[in-house]
């Protein structure tokens, strides 16, 4: 089903691992092809982020100080700033 009223807010890069060449290449290519559509915030691969759903928790409730939680909070701020 195609929703013509739906606007894409942006593209979110997730599961990013800066140690992997492939992760860096994917980020470069996506940013090159989609420019301003890509959120500046990138969600990094994080063990705590992977564990949270197993406990039925959001990452904010599970470990608010984790990198994953901080990434998602940064994304929320970016979206709010973009729309205000």
The string of pLDDT tens digits covering residues 15-42 is 999 999 999 999 999 999 999 999 999 9
Q: Looking at the 3D structure of the chain, how many domains does it have? A: 1
User: Is residue 4 in some structural domain?
Assistant: no
pLDDT of residue 1: 66
User: Is residue 41 in some structural domain?
Assistant: yes
User: Is residue 64 in some structural domain?
Assistant: yes
User: Is residue 2 in some structural domain?
Assistant: no
Read off the pLDDT of each residue in 77-82 and give the average, rounded to a whole number: 97
Q: Which helix (H) or strand (E) holds 15?
A: strand 11-16
**Could you give the CA distance from residue 34 to residue 61 in angstroms, rounded to a whole number?**
33
Beta bridge partners of 38: 11
Query: Domain span at residue 24?
Result: 11-82
User: Is residue 3 in some structural domain?
Assistant: no
User: Is residue 5 in some structural domain?
Assistant: no
Which residue matches tokens 């990452």? 59
Give the pLDDT band (50/70/90) at residue 73: very high
């Amino acid at each position: 089903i195609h929703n013509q009223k739906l606007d894409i807010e942006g593209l979110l890069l997730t599961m990013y691992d800066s140690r992997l060449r492939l992760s860096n290449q994917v980020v470069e290519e996506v940013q090159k092809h989609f420019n301003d559509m890509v959120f500046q915030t990138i969600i990094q691969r994080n063990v705590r982020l992977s564990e949270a759903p197993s406990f039925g928790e959001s990452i904010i409730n599970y470990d608010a100080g984790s990198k994953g939680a901080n990434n998602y909070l940064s994304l929320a701020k970016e979206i709010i700033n973009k729309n205000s």
